[in-house]
Chains A and B, each alone.
Chain A
Amino acid sequence: KNEVEQSPQNLTAQEGEFITINCSYSVGISALHWLQQHPGGGIVSLFMLSSGKKKHGRLIATINIQEKHSSLHITASHPRDSAVYICAVNRGSQGNLIFGKGTKLSVKP
């Protein structure tokens, strides 16, 4: 079993829809990251969380440490949000990341 699990694997939405991507982990962590990868490979860090909730524009990330679960929400989705969204964690005090397999999001106009 992977230490970091994401769902769904693939997600297709219509422009304007509210989107939720889920991440569960099975190890002790010090931080959880949400990353965005566009076609071509470039990766951008969206959020780093150790507790609570963070918001940036139309993106919201939450984490529940007790339940070992995080969600990434996108409000008013847009075709430019189409990308792979990856959940990753720092295990304990380690600096390196452990990754989920990613969620491929496609937003149709």
Chain B
Amino acid sequence: EAGVTQSPTHLIKTRGQQATLRCSPISGHTSVYWYQQALGLGLQFLLWYDEGEERNRGNFPPRFSGRQFPNYSSELNVNALELEDSALYLCASSFRGSSADTQYFGPGTRLTVL
């Protein structure tokens, strides 16, 4: 069974540009979570999608947005990139949106903003 996949592996952008990151969950999983891991800050929750709807949002500005497609894959968009957006962006999926479910993490997309 394929795990959670993310693309691209690395992404280099300049300030003010937009970045699009993609995530494909494990087959059968309906929930997708996005997390940011900036250097020295630890993991922080960004967005949670389940069954195509945004269920919860972390403490990030509106220029961080996303969506979940009918096949449950997901996209994270970051507009007007700032230097401090440089981070590892991790996607995770779970069978349902229940807190009783294990989350499976993808390998991440490393975003560098110059």
Contact = CB atoms under 8 A, between A and B. Distances in A.
B71 interface: no
Contact of B45 (A48, A97, A100): A97
Interface residues of B, number: 29
A99 B99 contact: no
B103 A33 contact: yes
A94 B56 contact: yes
A100 B37 CA distance: 12
Interface string B76-92: 00000000000010101
B103 to A, nearest CB: 6
If over half of A's interface residues share one DSSP class (helix, strand or loop), that class is named, otherwise mixed; here it is: strand
A41 B105 CA distance: 10
* Residue among B56, B94, B99, B105 with max Cβ neighbours from chain A (10 Å): B99
Contact of A95 (B42, B43, B94, B107): B94
Q: How large is the interface on A (under 10, 10 to 19, 20 to 34, 35 or more residues)?
A: 20 to 34
B75 interface: no
Contacts of B42: 86, 99-102
Interface in B61-114: 88, 90, 92, 94, 97-105, 107-108, 110
If over half of B's interface residues share one DSSP class (helix, strand or loop), that class is named, otherwise mixed; here it is: strand
Interface of A: 30-31, 33, 35, 41-45, 48, 50, 86, 88, 90, 92-102
Interface of B: 31, 33, 35, 37, 42-45, 48, 50, 55-56, 58, 88, 90, 92, 94, 97-105, 107-108, 110
22 contacts: A31-B100, A33-B102, A33-B103, A35-B105, A41-B88, A42-B105, A42-B108, A43-B105, A48-B102, A86-B43, A92-B99, A93-B99, A95-B31, A95-B33, A95-B50, A95-B101, A96-B45, A97-B33, A97-B43, A97-B45, A98-B45, A99-B42
